[in-house]
Structure 1
């Protein structure tokens, strides 16, 4: 079989107003995340797929993020198969943090990648 390469971008290519879809688990999200990101853990992604498609109904591109890029690659592949414009963020939150991109927490404590 011939598979198309997974669409991906580096963290520098994610626009400040881009829709980041964070598929990490709750404890990872709580430690630090991209402000304004949509948090849908991969463990319940399929159950919450309708919520994701509502947000993406405006034709926005989803920039899919996890810790290093493995889980987000799975979700990106699934979204692309559903006809949704989605790209995997290479290196995930580790690359985001290393690039000095801003991160936040819900409680205002210092953000870090778990």
Structure 2
């Protein structure tokens, strides 16, 4: 159980609790490119802005893949480590609408 909670915590951490709006991302990218010395309305500035956008999309894709992997690993860790066999004993009668009666199921 503790392992499942740990994996869920990792997945949540990978999600990132903060979200950046497109306007915030644009402003951040503009500030970065200008900080690098590129002047707005130049080819170099446009290339910088495009590169910043591509890197952000790549980061988002990596983050989503990491979350998917963490969730997959969590699902696999919840699977039984050995095969479970169940036997059902008792009496049941089929009425055409389903089986009714007393039964006991034992799994090992």
TM over 0.5, shorter chain: no
Query: Which has the higher relative contact order, 1 or 2, with Cα contacts under 8 A spaced 6 or more apart?
Result: 1
Q: Which structure would you say has the larger Rg?
A: 2
| Range of TM-score over shorter length | under 0.3
